[in-house]
Amino acid sequence: MELSAVSAARGYAALRPATEPETGATTGFQALARDFAATLRTGEETAKAAMTGGADPHALVQALAQTELAVETVITVRNRVVEAYQEILRMPV
């Protein structure tokens, strides 16, 4: 066996399996999910503070508007993903 074949086999064994996801793509999605959750959490905290008299009405309106925009964005993305999936299912094989 040649030395290059042995080194190629070692390099192939060191590669990640095809079933493991790439970390770069997952990290971006995870960051978006964390930002969305943080926006919702901020809106809830501001609403609680406004109910107890700890926040002014302007801060409440601003937090609710940001939360509404975030939820509408997520719904739009979800709808686009579902539409793309349905379009793939309609493709002839």
> Is residue 47 within a helix (H) or strand (E), and if so which, with residue range?
helix 23-51
| 10-64: pLDDT as tens digits | 666 666 566 665 666 567 788 888 999 999 999 999 999 999 988 888 999 999 9
Q: What pLDDT sits at residue 20?
A: 62
Q: What pLDDT sits at residue 45?
A: 93
Helix axis angle, 57-90 to 23-51, nearest 10° = 140
Q: What pLDDT sits at residue 92?
A: 87
Q: Show me where the domains of the chain are located.
A: 21-90
Q: What is the DSSP letter of 21?
A: P
